[in-house]
Structure 1
Amino acid sequence: MRIRRKMFIIIGSAFVGILLIFAFSGILLLRGFSSAEDQEVRGNVLRAAGVFNSAVDNLAIKIYDWSAWDDTYAFIADHNKAYIASNLTSESLQSIGVNMMLFIDRSGTLVEAKNIDMTTLADLPLPPGLLPYLEQGSPLFEYTDLTGVRKGVIALPSGLLLVAARPIETSTQDGPIRGTLIFGKYIDQAFVAELSRTIDFPLTLEAYSKAPQSPDFMPAMQAFATGNTTAVVPISQLSIAGYTVINGVNGQPALVLRAVMDRHTIALGQKTILTYFTFILLTLALISIGMWFLVYKFVLSRLTRLTTLVATSTTTHQQEIVLSGHDEFSNLAEVINTLTTKLTQIDIAKTEFVSLASHQLRTPLTSISWYTEMLLAGDAGTLSPAQIKYLKAIYVGNRRMVALVNALLNVSRLELGTLVFETRPTDVVAIAKNSVEEQQPQIVAKKIQFTAEYGTDIPIISTDPKLFRMVIQNLLSNAIKYTPEGGTVTYTMRLNPARDALLISVSDTGYGIPQNQQDKIFTKLFRADNARAKEVEGTGLGLYIVKSIVEHSGGKVWFESEVGKGSTFHASVPLEARDTLSNI
């Protein structure tokens, strides 16, 4: 781990630790505000329930004038039409704010029913599910004296109904009871809107058995199931909902009242905590920045400078690292200079040795190849089949050694900068075709389907023909070597769209290069794992030589590869090559 990161972690850990302490205290404060908000919401939802109960009481008050009226008392007995014509009109119901009037005699018979739409004043049929509440034994008839009244909510399949039921009696309330009068008022949007205006925040009334399966209703319903009568559920950062259950006329939960309120209390708490936390955060940030500045100025900047100088020295072969000052870092720079000088001398000696050894080996290896060819040609007489077999093995092995020596020699020349770049007008198409011909024995031996395509507009370009041939031969040899028997190799040469460079592409259907090794493919002496597993012979120098020559003539090399499908290598060579080999 880098020192910069370590220092950052140390300072950051201290910053975070102190911040966590203050954050914990902020959480405690926020809990206090949350508790106050919870109490406020529960109080408001109970107030909303009180307003709803007031609406129920108001319906009970309205029914008194009609149930304790001599005309109604007479109507329930004689069923006279005049009462209906003069009193049970849609306008009459609208004027007292009810949707429904039901007249039931002592035997439980429905004498008359009136149900209207409050908006259109049109007559409506009685809603489904109401009749069971009109039968004997219904909670609506459980009053004990002449002044008794039953009121509450009925949950019907079509919605919620506010009801009040009272015995029908004379105006002097001296009995006997002749029946029951029931008023009904639908709990519709208009009713809910009126309640919302009264308490000054939005209300929702839902049947208990049909409460929405929404994220905010579900926790409330779970709270009711455990015996709670109120619940508080945050909806968002800006609003919160309170819930309470209202029982119906049968004493069972009939509806859920939901009141939505703005979170003023928690918003005030959050604002207070945010101000407090921001002040602490800015203070800690200033302290941390100050500490980081001091560490960076006196430690990290000098270490970074030393690292940069070392990296530059490695890239540009600069021999000396100069770091101002008189501290441990400047002393380290002097030690690095001493080590670098020694390592450079060792590396030059190694490269010179490889160059000398390769040069000395090439002459006897060439002689072995020449004499082996003469013996195989019969210049020294007729050979037995065994002798021919052994000589061919010597010849093939010697050719491999010559290829390896030539590659090592070229690499050493590239690294020493002694490989001369002699540019002259060159027929690159002819060189390419000649290189393909040289690869024919390998192509035929492996039964490879080889295709070569050359652009018809390729001009004579200025380049080094020997180095260009080396690039082509290495690309072709690499593709053929790593393509299994019966595979396909495609070679193309054309001008780029800008017509200022030659594009060379060699595609194969070989083993492909694993993704995790593709960034190393142009590294000297590197060979992919799957190539080693297939026991394909190679030195790992060909692509390194190709990249070095092409890039230092002003071009570039790249490739695409997929394991099991093959690879395509591309080289872009400028039409006017420039010698930068001395910078390798």
Structure 2
Amino acid sequence: MPSKSDVTMPGISADELDKTKDVYRSLQEKLEYLFDSLAREKINLELQMIEAKKFKLAVDSASDNIVITDSMGTIFYINKATENNTGYAFNEVVGKNPGELWGGKMKPEYYAEMWHKIKVKKEVFVGQFENVRKNGEKYIAAVDISSVLDEYGEILFFVSIERDITREIMIERMKDEFVGLASHQLRTPLTGIKWFSELLIRNKYNNLNAEQLDFLEQIKISNQRMVKLVNELLDISHIETGQKFEIKKADFKVNDVLNEVLTENISLIKTKTLNIINKIPDNLLIFADYVKIRQVLSNLVSNATKYSPANKDINISVVPDDGKGFAVISVADQGMGIPAAQKSRLFEKFFRADNARIQEPNGTGLGLYIARELIRAHGGELWFESDENKGTTFIFSIPLKIN
């Protein structure tokens, strides 16, 4: 009786049968692998669907407007917030461009800049749009638009996130208007206090004793501090409401204004026995607004004297011509310096570094903010270099005298 291995099918040899078995086993293995792959893919798809549902739920419940368009700007998705905030239903916007609906109210060059940013440079565009709801109501939106790219760097679609900031802007505008109005109203009584206190101090026949005269001096000093604060608030009001500073340019010597500022600070300079090293040539002329540059130098020199330890140097120097028609003036102290973590905030409105607040609690945090805006109004720039516990150098560029 033949063994199982000797069994053959009619017309098929044993070798052919073995090959057929091998092919079958190979197919079976491939099918098993394919079924496993499909099972894994099914699980992955289910997980992706779960994540997509979570994402859609998050997007739909977001309070900000989220709009997704194709690479040509045609809408194919908006979230619930967009429907609620614009007044347009989903089926009203799909297949259209935002400019046909709530957008398109900015100048053409603004949109050109936006498209260049997101489509050519493929970078995030951050800006503000003036939009109109379906009912005709205008609103202002803070906008971030990002491009989503495929593996080859081609644009798949754009995602726009918009937040209605109309109320915030209105509140900020009202606050600025109030500050400006209040500051103007405060000027008159402060001027009166200043005039009467100085009159009483100068009057030799007022029969005031030493203590009373000291009180008057304190009134005068407090009044000067209040006048300075009011003037700073008025400057802030100008900046925040978009009003340009009135710059009255003329030729004058830097040392003329600097000597006034040093005289203004002479009491503290003498008290601390500070050594003022002025390296500015006496014949250096600049073309600028005398009063505004005095305000800038007053702030920088005052800070240097306030934050310098006793018996230290304050260096005031200049690069007479930077090759671009500007003088570059610097005021360097050997004081406490600015903490590295807070350097980026130094020119923010109302900001004061921690170590400065400890040493000098009464500052407003407005001086440097205003000083930089004044220098920028001249076409220059104000910046600084600082090492904590070693000192700070403030530097600004200002136009030279025009021959």
Q: TM-score, normalised by structure 2?
A: 0.59
Q: How do 1:347-496 residues align onto structure 2 when only pairs under 5 Å count?
A: 347-379=172-204, 381-429=206-254, 430-455=256-281, 458-461=284-287, 463-496=288-321
Equivalent residue of 1:539, what SS? coil
Residues 572/418 of structure 1: CA separation in 2 closer, same or farther (3 Å cut)? same
Equivalent residue of 2:247, what SS? coil
Equivalent residue of 2:279, what SS? strand
Confirm or deny: 8 A CA contact 2:247 2:378 kept in the other structure: no
Equivalent residue of 1:312, what SS? strand
Confirm or deny: 8 A CA contact 2:274 2:314 kept in the other structure: yes
Of the three residues 563, 572, 575, the one matched with 2:388 is 563
The answer for the alignment partner of 1:313 in structure 2 is 128
The answer for the alignment partner of 2:113 in structure 1 is none
The answer for the alignment partner of 2:6 in structure 1 is none
Equivalent residue of 1:559, what SS? strand
Deviations 1:545-576 (A, max 9, x none): 11122234322222111222211111112348
Match for 2:127: what amino acid?
A: T
The answer for the alignment partner of 1:346 in structure 2 is 171
Equivalent residue of 2:392, what SS? strand
Equivalent residue of 2:128, what SS? helix
* Alpha-carbon distance in structure 2 between the residues aligned to 1:466 and 1:418: 18
The answer for the alignment partner of 2:375 in structure 1 is 550
Match for 2:312: what amino acid?
A: G
Residues 322/447 of structure 1: CA separation in 2 closer, same or farther (3 Å cut)? closer
Equivalent residue of 1:383, what SS? coil
* Alpha-carbon distance in structure 2 between the residues aligned to 1:303 and 1:488: 60
* Alpha-carbon distance in structure 1 between the residues aligned to 2:330 and 2:386: 13
Match for 2:264: what amino acid?
A: E
Deviation at 1:409, TM superposition (A): 1.2
Q: How do 1:317-328 residues align onto structure 2 when only pairs under 5 Å count?
A: 319-320=140-141
Residues 535/303 of structure 1: CA separation in 2 closer, same or farther (3 Å cut)? farther
Equivalent residue of 2:180, what SS? helix
**Aligned residue pair count:** 277
Confirm or deny: 8 A CA contact 1:550 1:556 kept in the other structure: yes
Deviations 1:405-441 (A, max 9, x none): 1111111112223343334322042223322232223
Q: Please state if 1:515 is matched with 2:340.
A: yes
Confirm or deny: 8 A CA contact 2:265 2:302 kept in the other structure: yes
* Alpha-carbon distance in structure 2 between the residues aligned to 1:471 and 1:387: 35
Structure 1: runs of 5+ lacking an equivalent: 1-279, 578-584
Residues 362/309 of structure 1: CA separation in 2 closer, same or farther (3 Å cut)? farther
Match for 1:313: what amino acid?
A: Q
* Alpha-carbon distance in structure 1 between the residues aligned to 2:204 and 2:318: 42
Q: TM-score, normalised by structure 1?
A: 0.42
Match for 2:267: what amino acid?
A: P
Deviation at 1:395, TM superposition (A): 1.7
* Alpha-carbon distance in structure 2 between the residues aligned to 1:380 and 1:493: 48
Deviation at 1:484, TM superposition (A): 2.7
* Alpha-carbon distance in structure 1 between the residues aligned to 2:216 and 2:201: 7
The answer for the alignment partner of 2:156 in structure 1 is none
* Alpha-carbon distance in structure 1 between the residues aligned to 2:222 and 2:125: 43
Deviations 1:294-350 (A, max 9, x none): x9xx98x95799999994129xxx9456899xxxx88x74xx33xx22221111111
Residues 509/469 of structure 1: CA separation in 2 closer, same or farther (3 Å cut)? same
Q: How do 1:79-90 residues align onto structure 2 when only pairs under 5 Å count?
A: none
* Alpha-carbon distance in structure 1 between the residues aligned to 2:393 and 2:211: 42
Identity of aligned residues (%): 36
Residues 323/389 of structure 1: CA separation in 2 closer, same or farther (3 Å cut)? closer
* Alpha-carbon distance in structure 1 between the residues aligned to 2:258 and 2:388: 28
Match for 2:206: what amino acid?
A: G
Confirm or deny: 8 A CA contact 1:470 1:546 kept in the other structure: yes
Residues 402/456 of structure 1: CA separation in 2 closer, same or farther (3 Å cut)? closer
* Alpha-carbon distance in structure 1 between the residues aligned to 2:182 and 2:194: 18
* Alpha-carbon distance in structure 1 between the residues aligned to 2:317 and 2:188: 35
* Alpha-carbon distance in structure 1 between the residues aligned to 2:144 and 2:212: 68
Residues 360/486 of structure 1: CA separation in 2 closer, same or farther (3 Å cut)? farther
Confirm or deny: 8 A CA contact 1:557 1:571 kept in the other structure: yes
Deviation at 1:383, TM superposition (A): 1.1
Confirm or deny: 8 A CA contact 2:253 2:282 kept in the other structure: no
Residues 451/513 of structure 1: CA separation in 2 closer, same or farther (3 Å cut)? same
Match for 1:378: what amino acid?
A: N
Q: CA RMSD in A?
A: 3.9
Deviation at 1:503, TM superposition (A): 0.7
